[in-house]
Amino acid sequence: MTLPLHDMGFQLLGLDLNRLALTVFRQRSKDVPLVQGDALRLPISSDSVGCVVATHCFDHLDRAQFLRECHRVLCNDGLLIFDALNRHSYKLTLKRLGRLLGPPFTGRPSDKWIDVFSSREVLRLIALAGFDLQAASGYGWIPFSVDSDSRLVNAAASVERTLRLDRLPHVSPRILMAVRKKAKY
């Protein structure tokens, strides 16, 4: 997301805890300032940024601390855009069913569903952290891995768009949320 936003003229700061990730990104762009840092202790002044975009990290952090830290750095009415796995996802239900049925239905072992919150729990956390939900959208429905070369990927994506599955974040595999920091009174 960083490069398209940068190309549209937004001022950005890329942050990652992993130095290798920053090195790989640097090979793609020399223009975006990068900082190695912890999302739970952002090296950013309080009330100083208009938007934080955090992808594929929410489920690997202390969620409440992450939300508090984003709240700290955002200006009043600032926007946080992030995604999260969903415990009530159809994919997790299929994984649980596969474990009950045993091989060959179990698939590859994965720990990505450990300690995953439901959409309702995430909504509760964002409210407690001082944010108002602006939008939520479901995604990740396609039952293929990201590196799949199956000819069915385009058909599955078309079905997802036609059925407007993005409108079902409460059962989608991933939820993309936009939340706004409540203004101080």
Give the confidence band of 82 by pLDDT, cuts at 50, 70, 90: very high
Give the confidence band of 7 by pLDDT, cuts at 50, 70, 90: confident
Give the pLDDT mean for 167-177.
90
Residue bearing the bigger pLDDT, 156 or 135:
135
172 pLDDT exceeds 80?
yes
pLDDT digits (tens, 9 = 90+) for 26-55: 998 888 888 999 999 999 999 999 899 998
Give the pLDDT mean for 77-90.
90
Q: In the numeric block, which tokens belong to residue 43?
A: 């090296």
Q: In the numeric block, which tokens belong to residue 136?
A: 């939520």
HEC profile of the chain? CHHHHHHCCCCCCEEECCHHHHHHHHHHCCCCCEEECECCECCCCCCCEEEEEECCCHHHCCHHHHHHHHHHHEEEEEEEEEEEECCCCHHHHHHHHHHHHCCCCCCCCCCCCCCCCCHHHHHHHHHHCCEEEEEEEEECCCCCCCCCCCCHHHHHHHHHHHHCHHHCCCCCCEEEEEEEECCCC
- Residue 127 is predicted with a pLDDT of 95
29 closest CA partner among 60, 58, 57, 1: 1
Phi (first) and psi of residue 110, to 5 degrees: -145, 140
Domains of the chain: 38-181 (3.40.50.150)
**Whole-structure pTM value:** 0.82
Phi (first) and psi of residue 77, to 5 degrees: 70, 10
Q: In the numeric block, which tokens belong to residue 64?
A: 């409440």
Give the whole-number percent of the chain exceeding pLDDT 70.
Answer: 90
- Residue 92 is predicted with a pLDDT of 76
Give the pLDDT mean for 117-121.
89
Displacement of CA 50 from its chain's centroid (Å): 18
